[in-house]
Amino acid sequence: MWFEELHLNGSGWEWQQTLDRVSFSDWADPNWQPDSLSNTTMEYCAMLSREKDWAWAEQDCFKRQGMVSVCEIQPAYQQCFQNSCYQLISQFTYYDKLSSKCASLGGTVLEINSKEESDFIKGYLDAAPVGRDGLGNLSLTQVWLGATDIGSEGNFRWMSNNSKLNFDNWGMGQPNNGLPYGLEENCVVLESSEGWKWKDVTCDASRLVVCEVEKWNGGSRRR
Ligand SMILES: [Ca+2]
Ligand SMILES: [Ca+2]
């Protein structure tokens, strides 16, 4: 069985969803697992091995044939503020998959409705240990916000209920709909280099996303 939760960032194992360090492990044979630091097979993922009574074994991330995955329906959502809890998802996601990605985790795409929430999210993202690509390079530069002006240029609305923005935190000169370059910009990101202020961008790239759940919906569950 495939165990997609783990990956190696160069100095140890972390959970793929939360990027927390793996504090518990059950390697099949501590004498030879994990061994990817000492050979050249590039085994950066882990699985549960039936032959080893479901203990853990390393595996090449591309060798998925014949494997199945088990999903947990709630990610950690341990970062809570007022009525919401948040989880930065460490997989790059395209705009058209945003809502379904968060829905599959019991939540919606991040929406920011107040200065206080904005400040909290800024602190969360500043502290997030994310943004390493497969080679260990930092890559957390933009995070999707659940807002768009698709359908009515300049009239940005929240994706969850199509209501007009009740708060904004645009960066200097934004939103500009791509002017003067002529690339229509109908999606919104938080930009790390501008203190996580907002900018409209084209909708076609994949970026990281923060999912949000209401607290009463099980958000503050601890593992
Ligand atoms: Ca636009
Ligand atoms: Ca823009």
108, 195: one domain: yes
The 8 Å CB, 24+ separation contacts for 125-134 are 125/88, 125/190, 125/192, 125/196, 125/210, 126/196, 128/19, 128/88, 129/19, 130/19, 130/88, 130/90, 130/208, 131/208, 132/9, 132/19, 134/7, 134/44
Domain that holds residue 41: 2-59
125, 18: one domain: no
Nearest alpha carbon to residue 35 among 58, 51, 10, 8: 58
How far is ligand 1, taken at its centre, from the CA of residue 18, in Å?
32
83, 186: one domain: yes
Please tell me the total count of domains within the chain: 2
88, 120: one domain: yes
How far is ligand 2, taken at its centre, from the CA of residue 203, in Å?
11
Q: Do the Cβ atoms of 106 and 217 come closer than 8 Å?
A: yes
107, 186: one domain: yes
How far is ligand 1, taken at its centre, from the CA of residue 37, in Å?
47
How far is ligand 1, taken at its centre, from the CA of residue 46, in Å?
42
pLDDT at res. 124: 92
Ligand 2 (single-atom ion) residues, CB below 5 Å = 174, 176, 185, 199-200
31, 136: one domain: no
How far is ligand 1, taken at its centre, from the CA of residue 179, in Å?
10
How far is ligand 1, taken at its centre, from the CA of residue 114, in Å?
22
Give the position of tokens 């209501």. Answer: 163
How far is ligand 2, taken at its centre, from the CA of residue 188, in Å?
8
How far is ligand 2, taken at its centre, from the CA of residue 101, in Å?
24
Q: Do the Cβ atoms of 188 and 198 come closer than 8 Å?
A: yes
Inform me whether the pLDDT recorded for 7 exceeds 90: no
Lowest-confidence pick of 44-53, 80-89, 142-151, 164-173: 44-53
How far is ligand 1, taken at its centre, from the CA of residue 176, in Å?
7
114, 34: one domain: no
Give residue-wise pLDDT tens across range 157-170. 999 999 999 999 99
103, 207: one domain: yes
Which pLDDT band, with edges at 50, 70 and 90, does 15 fall under?
Answer: confident
How far is ligand 1, taken at its centre, from the CA of residue 100, in Å?
22
pLDDT at res. 33: 65
How far is ligand 2, taken at its centre, from the CA of residue 17, in Å?
29
Looking at the CA of 178, name the nearest ligand: 2
Give residue-wise pLDDT tens across range 83-134. 999 998 877 899 999 999 999 888 999 999 999 999 999 999 888 765 544 5
- CA gap 48, 178 in Å, rounded: 47
Q: What is the CATH number of the domain that holds 185?
A: 3.10.100.10
Looking at the CA of 197, name the nearest ligand: 2
Give residue-wise pLDDT tens across range 169-218. 999 999 999 998 878 999 999 998 899 999 999 999 888 899 999 886 54
123, 198: one domain: yes
Q: Within a domain: residue 69?
A: no
Asked whether the whole model's pTM tops 0.75, one would answer no
Inform me whether the pLDDT recorded for 52 exceeds 60: yes
How far is ligand 1, taken at its centre, from the CA of residue 50, in Å?
51
